[in-house]
Chain A
Amino acid sequence: MTDATMTHAHSQEAPPRRALARQVLPYAMLSPAVLVTLAIVFFPMVQTAWMSLHDYVLFRPNVFEWVGLKNFRTALQDEVFWISLWHTVIWMCTTIPAQLLLGLVTALLLNQSFPWRPLARALIIIPWALPSVVIALMWVWIYDSNYGVANEFLLRLGLIQKAIPWLANPDTALASIILTLTWQGFPFFAVMILAGLQSIPRSYYEAASIDGASTWRQFWHITLPGISGVMVTAVLLRTIWVANSFDVIFVMTGGGPGYATYTLPLFAFVKARTNLDFGYGSAIAVLFTLLLMLVVVVYLKRTGKAVS
């Protein structure tokens, strides 16, 4: 075989090898992330589902009995489960729209030209950047019935006659925490929507203006469609985050007074971490995950249609 034929043979073999390498490369590059995700997300999820089918109380580590769906049946007959589910629905249905609305108004304001605009844009992010525990403690003091600034302010304005124990009264506790979380989460919407607003070409508004469209019609026909994609994604992300978040509730009231601020994630946490009943706690967590998945799927289907 001459050198020339060998070279020719090599050049014929090379393309399939390159093609194979091209096929394998993406998997090779993705595998570390996939492995980490499997280890820290998927494995605990499977473990939680497995535990939910067992009687597993942490302070009796030698007892790990298969009980099938007993924990799920117990949860569905548990008054606290239904109280927590109702609070979770209120929690999600008020917090997310409130954050979205406030975020939208803020983004529209920040999209206008005014002096010190970059500073205002930077300051608005502070609630979002603060750790949840700091926010919770700060608002506990704001709501304090003895020294809180909220009561002081309302008393001086004459809006209330007597200091209100915002967090100790079951009628106001959940609403007070929702207000706190709205304040914490609205900058996320503001920043996302602001980014969406800046991607809408100015020429659209100019053309609409020449055609005599009012500000409201410009907002309805140009601004909203322009930011709808961003809003759908932001609402989806916040739905999942808000639904799962219980740190602020835990620090502010611990779920109290009574069960007045219990949500399903908090109930699962208290059962597992405080009562050490990991079997029952896992069953509540699994039920909540299924419910949340249902909400997300319905939301994506409906918004997918609306956006398209």
Chain B
Amino acid sequence: MKLARTLGLASVLALSAGLAHADSTVRFWYHFDNADNPMDALIAAFEEANPGITVEAENVPWNSYYDQLYTAIIGGNAPDAAMVKAFAQPRLVEMGALAPIDDWLAGWDGTAALQDNLIDLVKGPDGTQYYLPVQYVVLYLYYRPDMFADLGLEVPTTCEAFREAAKALTRDTDGDGQTDVYGFGFRGAKGGHDHWASFVLGAEGVSLTEGLTSEAGVAGTQFVADLFQKDEVFPPSAPNDGFQEIIGAFKAGKTAMTIHHIGSANGMVEALGDNVSAAPVPDCGGGRWTAFGDESTAVLSNAEDPEAAWKWISFLSSAGNNAKFNEATGQLPVVKADSESWTLHPQRFVQATVDSLPFAQMLPNSSATADFVNTVWPTAMQRVLTGDITAEEMNAEIAKLYGG
């Protein structure tokens, strides 16, 4: 009897001990275009360094990433941590979906190792820190130096020069009466707002929140419409073209210029060798504007074990791990030490990124930005390009969205 009681007590104790040290699972959502996904290697390294924590990482397709994330949050099935962009932050904060990370950041030795200002750039709309940067890029102009050389053209530094170059580059190269090369690959579908913004928001006094309906603002949108309708320097499919189409057309030699970031550089070099280079976007209307492409990670407020989720996201933004992460995404590391030893991209693309940094900007930290990116901009731009509405109407619609 005594033995049975002892065994029983021992079992209860063992069970309680087991529960106290129960393993944590961190469900992590991310989006990688790269098929050589290194996440398994990073997870293995993390789990080895953090026994008791298991990471279940799910690669969610980019096109529906935020639709799925918002729905999962409302449905109570959100991941514990996720990759997130700044434009989504106001909405996620409004939903109460993010856990503050200020306290963790204060006690983490990796904070000082991050690139200057990156933490501040992704601070929440209420002044709280929710996002931990994991990679960044800046958009610039890709161009074909061989085509420019053939036609004796200079890389355009102003919108006027850009227009002339694009017109010259648009040509029938084999004499069959069909245009074989277009001057610029414009992204008219979702995600193309960065292209439009580079031609519109550089003008003095014009931003998404003010001045968009001014003469200068409307002239910017009209400039884009004219490039397509009058000059015909975009491929005819431009209104529907997304990321795959613009990059594919540039690699195939169908377009001579396009705008994207360093994430595409290695693929471009693989396809075109030395016949691809990069430069900052042109000066339009008296100034330059390019997009600062951010990507951070965040702990979600419903995380079962927020501490474990923080350990995982901070692991991804630590020296060495951050480099591995960015080797897969082709973007730039946020850790100073990783940046200094960075050799993944040819220097000319790193240089174009660095040269573009002084005028790189983010979209407004407002809840309206998600609608601007996802529906308002693509629909309005396509309608302008196809002649359904005017440039003035498009700018008015965007200004209205931002309360202007």
Give A contacts to B, CB under 8 Å: 58-61, 144-146, 155, 161-165, 167-170, 253-260, 270, 273-276
Check if B177 sits within 8 Å of A161, measured CB to CB. Answer: yes
Check if B386 sits within 8 Å of A59, measured CB to CB. Answer: no
Check if A59 sits within 8 Å of B94, measured CB to CB. Answer: yes
- Cα A253 to Cα B380 in complex, Å, equals 15
Check if A146 sits within 8 Å of B237, measured CB to CB. Answer: yes
- Interface residues in B383-404 (C-beta closer than 8 Å to A): 383, 385-386, 388-389
Q: A59-B91, A257-B383, A258-B383 are in contact. Are A167 and B237 (CB under 8 A)?
A: yes
Check if B383 sits within 8 Å of A168, measured CB to CB. Answer: no
**A-B interface, 7 closest residue pairs, ranked by CB to CB distance from nearest:** A258-B383, A165-B236, A257-B382, A257-B239, A168-B240, A258-B382, A165-B237
- Interface residues in B220-235 (C-beta closer than 8 Å to A): 235
Check if B238 sits within 8 Å of A168, measured CB to CB. Answer: yes
- Cα A25 to Cα B347 in complex, Å, equals 78
Give B contacts to A, CB under 8 Å: 67, 70-71, 74, 91-92, 94-96, 177-178, 188-190, 235-241, 249, 252, 254, 367, 370-371, 374-375, 378-380, 382-383, 385-386, 388-389
Check if B237 sits within 8 Å of A144, measured CB to CB. Answer: yes
Check if B236 sits within 8 Å of A168, measured CB to CB. Answer: yes
- Cα A53 to Cα B82 in complex, Å, equals 33
Check if A61 sits within 8 Å of B379, measured CB to CB. Answer: no
List, in ascending order, chain B residues with CB within 8 A of A161's CB.
Answer: 177
Check if A58 sits within 8 Å of B74, measured CB to CB. Answer: yes
List, in ascending order, chain B residues with CB within 8 A of A163's CB.
Answer: 178, 236
Check if A59 sits within 8 Å of B237, measured CB to CB. Answer: no
List, in ascending order, chain B residues with CB within 8 A of A169's CB.
Answer: 236, 386
Classify the interface of chain B: helix, strand, loop or mixed: helix
Check if A145 sits within 8 Å of B371, measured CB to CB. Answer: no
- Cα A270 to Cα B189 in complex, Å, equals 15
- Cα A254 to Cα B70 in complex, Å, equals 19
List, in ascending order, chain B residues with CB within 8 A of A165's CB.
Answer: 235-237, 239-240
List, in ascending order, chain A residues with CB within 8 A of B370's CB.
Answer: 59
Check if B70 sits within 8 Å of A58, measured CB to CB. Answer: yes
Q: A59-B367, A168-B237 are in contact. Are A257 and B375 (CB under 8 A)?
A: no
List, in ascending order, chain A residues with CB within 8 A of B95's CB.
Answer: 58-61
B61 to chain A, nearest CB (A): 11
List, in ascending order, chain A residues with CB within 8 A of B375's CB.
Answer: 270, 274-275
List, in ascending order, chain A residues with CB within 8 A of B74's CB.
Answer: 58, 61
Check if B379 sits within 8 Å of A258, measured CB to CB. Answer: yes
